[in-house]
Homo-oligomer: A and B are copies of this chain.
Amino acid sequence: VANEFEFIDWLRARTPAASRVLVGPGDDCAVLTPGERPQVVTTDMLMDGVDFIVAEVGPRRVGRKAMAVNLSDIAAMAAVPTSAVVSVALPKSNNFSFAEELYLGLRDVADAFGVPIVGGDTNTWHGPLVVTVTAFGEATERGAVLRSGAQVGDAIFVTGPLGGSIRGHHLDFVPRVREALALHAAVELRAMLDISDGLSADLHHICERSGVGAVLFADAIPTTDIAQTMENPLERALGDGEDFELVFTVSARDAAKLLREPPVPVWRIGEIVAKGYWLQTHGERRELRPTGWVHTTT
């Protein structure tokens, strides 16, 4: 996580009203000062054998992922993360250093974004490791960005290359908090989410909620180096999950502005249309499934 500490100062300077902690762990509840702007809240539960294999990756990377997936949801609203609480079920077979490593992993990512862990619930049991993080954030003066605001004619962007996340990126990604805030300051983000189910599935969520369709330009979709070593990089980029890049839409005018002066790296990958869900290759449109598969019969 490079340069994140500098970023925290920038972030705090932008959000003087963000909630501060009055009382942390040790009482029945944490107590936070109220913010001035709407608060955003997200929760994600990660389980051993489903979201990670702790015997293979170790507890520290699990802790990092558990915090990062939640901050990624805060980023998807273009909000400033303010605090988090953590509940864990620790397998009894593990020693104290297991719990400590898990906590250090949570702190690695939380600290990188100036997010205090203000409370939690620590349990042990005979079952596998479970980690639940609930993260809080505060919308900026522009308001929280929802999934429902995409309009016909909007350009569709992503914040980074996609595909092959299972090879390690799904554990080690940096949540796009900085990128979301920089973009939201530069232009009007009309609809946004973070890619967890896969580009094709997640963009389809935006279309459904906004009552619109979309066309993706096959040649414009950036693929990761890892995906390029795999059999079909484009299918990986469309269908793989847990990229945790942001996909968002802006007006044509704002798109031109973003391409001229991008505050962070962005890729223009498609356009919002009135109806349908399409993948366009060399001018030819084929129907795209939300799973990332292309409908090949004509």
Q: Which stretch, A53-61, A114-122, A251-259, touches the partner chain B?
A: A114-122
Residues in chain B near residue A148, CB distance under 8 A: 27
20 contacts between A and B (CB under 8 A): A23-B146, A27-B76, A28-B77, A28-B193, A29-B40, A29-B41, A29-B42, A29-B74, A31-B144, A32-B40, A33-B38, A33-B39, A34-B34, A34-B35, A41-B85, A42-B119, A45-B87, A50-B123, A85-B134, A130-B130
Q: Which of A34, A36, A49, A88 has the most CB of B within 10 A?
A: A34
Asked if A47 contacts B123 (CB within 8 A), the reply is yes
A30 to B39, CA, bound (A): 8
Asked if A30 contacts B42 (CB within 8 A), the reply is yes
Given contacts A19-B39, A27-B146, A34-B34, contact A45 B126 (CB under 8 A): no
Query: Does chain B have a CB within 8 A of A265?
Result: no
Interchain nearest-CB distance for A161 vs B (Å) = 21
Asked if B39 contacts A36 (CB within 8 A), the reply is no
Query: Does chain B have a CB within 8 A of A125?
Result: yes
Interface residues on A, range: 35 or more
Asked if B144 contacts A23 (CB within 8 A), the reply is yes
Interchain nearest-CB distance for A63 vs B (Å) = 16
Query: Does chain B have a CB within 8 A of A127?
Result: yes
State which residues 233-267 of A face B: CB under 8 Å: none
Residues in chain B near residue A45, CB distance under 8 A: 87-89, 121, 123, 130, 132
Asked if B132 contacts A76 (CB within 8 A), the reply is no
Q: Which of A40, A74, A76, A137 has the most CB of B within 10 A?
A: A40
